[in-house]
Amino acid sequence: MMKKIIAMMLAVLFVCGALTGFPKLAAADDGIEKESPMLAEQVKAGTLPPVEDRLPAAADIMVETDKTPDAPEYGGTLRRNNGGQWDFGPFCEEPLFRLTEDGGVTPNVAKGYDVSEDGMTYTIYLREGMKWSDGEPFTADDVLFYYNYMLVTDVDPETGAVTNSYTGNYYNWYKTTDPADGLTKPAVLTKIDDYTFQMKLYSPKPLILQAIAIDNKWMFAPKHWYKDIVAFDSSKPHWTGIEDLSLIGGADLVDVTEEEAVKNAAAKSSLYQFDNYTSLGNALGYLYWNYAGRPTLRAWNIISPLTDTVLVFERNPYFWKTDAAGRQLPYIDYVEMVTMDAGLYAQEMLAGNIDMNAIELADLVTYKAGEKTGNYTVYSSIQPNWTVSSVELNQSYKDEQYRKLFEKIDFRHALSIAVDRHEVNEILYNGLAEEAQCAAPEGTDQYREGASEKWTEYDPAAANALLDGIPEISNDRNADGFRYFVDGEHAGETVLIQLEGHEKCNSASAIALFAQYYKEIGIQLVEVSNTARNTRQTKVTSGNEIMALYEENLNVFNPSVRPDRVGANRKICTWVGLYGLEHANPMTPEPGSEMEKVVNNTKKLATASTLEEAKACGDEMIQSMIDNTWIIGYARNTMKLTALSNKVKNYDPNYISCDELRFYGNTKPYTWYIED
């Protein structure tokens, strides 16, 4: 009897236990899969260490709490369109700091950071026990080696200019100028311990982490893998003047000449056959994510040669992030980037042969119609688009008569209201675009009331009246129906705008359309060199060779962080032209002109020492865009469209897509999973 009672009690206890929790504790170990079965098999076979040993120290694992799905599944292959290296690169980019949608930064590869009170010293903490995709430890040495031996190879002590870089692409914003002595010097990086390093600036620069997050997101490299393919000369003093090489990641380096580096690379893999040291550095040092075999910190790494038509990316067994339940990410084993003519993706989506494709506004209707047949959904995300169809007149065009004409705000005003935006929208975008001026869309920090509506009302009569008021061009029309220059070199010649198109967008149809509207106000518009890619590029970057540019998809994230398209800096900015400070001999704007304000603002932003100062510069740039309509926008598209198979889960379309935020990288594809 006693036995029975004890047995009964035990049974009750057991059931209670089962209901309340202790078997659950046991399940925490074997109930939830903590890694992909693909990796579990390798662990079983003894070819891979267990998952706990592959992840960083428990406290330093990055946990994607917000992105954890209820019941994710491991495995599968995501097949998507191949948008080229600047598409699949950002897709699985893991930056040191990640730029956030509000313009701030959040640690990613880095665990955290401190800034000294004077704003000149940044102490950056890394994750203990974190590993490269080949299993080697990731430490501060990898950051220091990258910065001191790959990024900044030689510095001119007089000017602070970086004269040599293995990656071929130094970032000038690392250099700061101290107003006290007027000297400009690059930032200096030193090691504190294996998981801590310090960055010392020559002068405060409040947006340095944003700059790193946008431009130098790959601020680290596997030293163990690079040290025999990066040239090193121990007899030469280091540019920082620091003699203790252990402080800058160079203590254990042995001498390698440039020729040896090329040979060593060639011996590493048949994919690394470079004809000289510069192309080696540019390829493996800078565009590293294209090369199979290079260890990374990414969720997936390329395993195929670039010549393959399907590029295969395999999961990184040492990826250092987990979901809230402790499952190692990513969920998906393979990503395949499929190359084909852009027109073929629609059929392949329909046939279910690919799972994902980034689509253009003009194709939305086609894709939407196939949703059911193809078992996919078209999602729309936000892109900070200012214009998707616009005309930029070069304010520095070499021909003086045209330049003077383009400088007149009435001329730009006339061109803006001469076009029926509604018709443009219907014809080019099936009515799906916004009929707006070139300006920041609502919902972004750059939005200003009224800016999108400025000069958008179609009014050819008013446009004609505006042009009649410009004395340099005729009020009457010539035999062809166009206005002409009344004097000067071009006296009697038709006012003719040569608009540079682009072979990869629908510029031809847009320009043909604009030409008809412009004709109504007596201005002739022609499209030039639509096919030769580099002729166009040469003309654009020369500064004053190009007359006007048809621009599609102009996205602006935040001018104070990156003033590329609204400030006078970049060569690729046509309206700024030769005023751009990036040019070897930039043009000096006329004192008191609107362009002078733009140039001054750009200069001020580069040396801003507080966040407020930087923001004020950015705000003034935005206001200048609004006041001057430097870019005449005819349509805007803030929809970033993606067709995605319904079997792909946990894709959250609520994100901002732009280069600064790394496009799809911003949605964290390593948290997506595929349902069988």
Partner 1 sequence: MKSEFLRFVIKKFLIMVLTVFLISLAVFYIITLPPGDFLTNYVGQLQAAGESVSQETIDKLKAVYGLDQPFIVQYWKWVTNIVFHGDFGYSFLWKMPVTSVIQAYIVPTIVLSLVTMLFTYLISIPIGIYSAVHQYSLGDYLFTSIGFIGMAVPNFLLGIILMFIAFKLTGDTMLGFFSAKYQTAPWSLEKFIDLLKHCIIPILVIGLMNTCGLMRTMRSQMLDELSKNYTLAARAKGLKMRVIRYKYCVRAAINPIAASIGWSLVNIFTGTTIVAIVLNLPSMGRVMYDALLDQDMYLAGSWLFLMAIMTVIGTFLSDILLAWLDPRARKEYIQG
Residues of this chain that interact with partner 1 (CB under 8 A) are 79, 86, 163, 165, 168-172, 214-215, 270-271, 273-276, 278-279, 282-283, 287, 290, 304-310, 312, 336, 340-341, 344, 347-348, 350-351, 353-354, 503, 531-535, 537-538, 540-541, 562, 564, 570-572, 582, 584, 659-660
C-alpha triplet 450, 456, 457: angle, nearest 5°: 110
Nearer to partner 1, 350 or 497 (CB): 350
CB 396 within 8 A of CB 599: no
Nearer to partner 1, 6 or 351 (CB): 351
Q: Decide: helix, strand or coil at residue 314.
A: strand
CB 198 within 8 A of CB 122: yes
**Minimum CB distance to partner 1, residue 578 (Å):** 14
**Minimum CB distance to partner 1, residue 311 (Å):** 10
Nearer to partner 1, 124 or 271 (CB): 271
CB 328 within 8 A of CB 55: yes
Run of H or E residues at 427: helix 421-429
Nearer to partner 1, 84 or 104 (CB): 84
**Minimum CB distance to partner 1, residue 367 (Å):** 15
**Minimum CB distance to partner 1, residue 180 (Å):** 27
**Minimum CB distance to partner 1, residue 290 (Å):** 8
Residues 6 or more apart in contact with residue 109 via CB below 8 angstroms: 94, 95, 96, 97, 126, 127, 130, 220, 297
Q: Decide: helix, strand or coil at residue 252.
A: coil
Q: Where are the alpha helices (DSSP H) in 507-647?
A: 507-520, 533-542, 594-607, 611-628
**Minimum CB distance to partner 1, residue 146 (Å):** 17
**Minimum CB distance to partner 1, residue 294 (Å):** 13
From the CB of residue 260, how many other CB atoms can be counted at a distance below 10 Å? 15
Nearer to partner 1, 54 or 79 (CB): 79
Residue in the structure block whose two tokens are 């101290």 = 178
Nearer to partner 1, 409 or 528 (CB): 528
Share in percent of the chain as helix, strand, coil (round to 5):
35, 20, 45
Nearer to partner 1, 131 or 583 (CB): 583
d(Cα 42, Cα 184) in Å, to the nearest integer? 52
Nearer to partner 1, 52 or 156 (CB): 156
d(Cα 390, Cα 388) in Å, to the nearest integer? 7
**Minimum CB distance to partner 1, residue 572 (Å):** 5
Radius of gyration of the chain (CA): 29
CB 276 within 8 A of CB 55: no
Nearer to partner 1, 257 or 610 (CB): 257
From 451, 424, 447, 425, select the one nearest 438 (Cα to Cα): 451
Q: What is the DSSP string of 69-123?
A: -SS-----EEEEE---HHHHHHHT---SEEEPTTS-EEESSS-EEEE-TTS-EEE
Nearer to partner 1, 172 or 628 (CB): 172
**Minimum CB distance to partner 1, residue 494 (Å):** 26
**Minimum CB distance to partner 1, residue 287 (Å):** 8
C-alpha triplet 304, 299, 295: angle, nearest 5°: 60
d(Cα 207, Cα 610) in Å, to the nearest integer? 8
d(Cα 86, Cα 92) in Å, to the nearest integer? 11
Nearer to partner 1, 436 or 606 (CB): 606
Task: Specify the amino acid at residue 367.
Answer: Y
**Minimum CB distance to partner 1, residue 630 (Å):** 19
